Amino acid sequence: MLNRRRLLQGVATGAGAALGLPTATAGLFAAPEATNTTPKRIIFFMQNQGFDPKTCIPEGMTSSGSLAGVKLPEPISPLEPYKERMHIINGLHGTHTSPSHSAFFGALGGYRGGDGVPPSAATIDYELSRVLPQTLMPHLCIGMDSIENMTTKPTIATLSASGAGQPIFMYSNPNHLYQTLFGGIATGEIRRQHEARSSLMNQIQQLAVSGAKDLPGSQQQRYSQFVQGFRDVNGLRERLDAASDRLRQYAPEVDQRYTQPEFETDWHDVMLELGISALTSGITNTLTIGSGRGEIFGAWKGLGIDQQGHNLGHMKQPNNPIWIKIRQYNSRMLVKLMEALDSIPEGSGTMMDHSLIVYTSNNADSQHTSGANWPVMLLGNFDGAFRTGCFTQVDGRRPINSLYTTLMQVAGSPCERFNMSEQLAKKFDSGNGVLGEVLA
């Protein structure tokens, strides 16, 4: 639900856009019965502080090849049983995004980013949510951070955008997200809070509609976007409430991790579970996870790590026991995602057969980076579109935009280049179109 901070931010961006909602949504689920084709879904997992290639490329591999006869590095060792469904890509660049501490919106946008810099265009996750079949919640973003940051700033926007100057906010408080997704089927205090918030939001919408009458014509259009945002939010809640029978099958159990977390990783874990529930129930087919929420912070005390925040980025990642713990934690989350999607039959296979997980960093290979190397791991093949069980080394002259162009192509919306003008491409892209090396 919206808190005061999001309410004020919604005035500038439109509450609907702030949540990643289009101006009109259809009551559909990402499931075969909702479309004439097997649905696809995509998950972006962005870890802050960089993704050093030595933590993901098997020792001795310097050129493209199969992963079948090699052992994965220790930081991603939980993924060893899934090597045949993995594709490691090294050598893409993002120098044009000026990442430094983070590329922020530029990491998924493929354009220049920076701290406090608004997005200059829609990001790849949002664009894919528009291309893939419509769902109740077209795009869900969740963010993981220290318990203090997730509590005091339950929403934040640094990674995803629906357009220029239109950030999409990440949910970071699992209690708020649970109420949004499953409040209509909850009982007890959660149900009472859901009903109270719903009543308040309806009243705000009514006040907003009546308030427009006294505004001068020059402000009517901007204000109408604000009003439409509340209609979208309220409409989403009503559609979710109406789908209670289906949602009840997928709602996770609320336990003390929600209200009495011992460590921030308790909230990380339940946020992941809520994201999985949104995918498996068909509420959404596009999920973005921001570990560190696109900034330079983050904490993992639940893993026995006392250090947190900016200092983690100044530590070398290879052979570092702290970063091994963090990356293995990430890898276990990826496994949990895959296992959950694999457990649900879909078409002639499972949900995972038609899904793709993109794991990388909003910070290229390290903190204080030039972005000259931007490692990426793909898990799954998006209904057979991508090669798997392999490592691909590219020459460093193709940008992350080329991967995003490829994602748009396999999702059914071909483009020559994603968020890159011809002028920029002449300087930063040696090729054009898709990244052919990764396609099946």
pLDDT digits (tens, 9 = 90+) for 235-286: 677 778 777 788 888 999 999 999 999 999 999 999 999 999 999 999 999 9
Spatial separation of the C-alpha atoms in residues 184 and 206, rounded to whole Å: 21
pLDDT digits (tens, 9 = 90+) for 348-357: 999 999 999 9
Spatial separation of the C-alpha atoms in residues 299 and 35, rounded to whole Å: 41
**Beta strand 41-47 pairing with 355-361:** parallel
Report residue 2's pLDDT band, with 50, 70 and 90 as the boundaries.
very low
The stretch 198-220 carries a mean pLDDT of 62
Spatial separation of the C-alpha atoms in residues 283 and 39, rounded to whole Å: 12
pLDDT for residue 1: 32
Q: Is 29 helix (H, G, I), strand (E, B) or coil?
A: coil
End-to-end CA distance of the chain: give it in Å, rounded: 41
Q: What share of the chain is helix, strand, coil (3-state, %, to 5)?
A: 45, 15, 40
pLDDT surpasses 50 at 24: no
The closest of 136, 129, 166, 142 to 16, measured between CA atoms, is: 166
Q: Is 298 helix (H, G, I), strand (E, B) or coil?
A: coil
Residues 205/226, Cβ–Cβ less than 8 Å: no
pLDDT surpasses 60 at 34: no
Spatial separation of the C-alpha atoms in residues 381 and 41, rounded to whole Å: 11
**CA dihedral (320, 105, 270, 298) positive or negative:** positive
**Domain boundary assignment for the chain:** 1-39+123-290
What letters, b where the CB count within 10 A reaches 16 and e where it falls short, cover 46-69? Answer: bbbbbbbbebbbbeeeeebeebee
The stretch 309-318 carries a mean pLDDT of 92
- Give this prediction's pTM: 0.88
pLDDT digits (tens, 9 = 90+) for 64-90: 999 999 999 999 999 999 999 999 999
pLDDT for residue 14: 35
Spatial separation of the C-alpha atoms in residues 86 and 386, rounded to whole Å: 10
The closest of 70, 76, 39 to 55, measured between CA atoms, is: 76
- The more confident residue out of 138 and 62 is 62
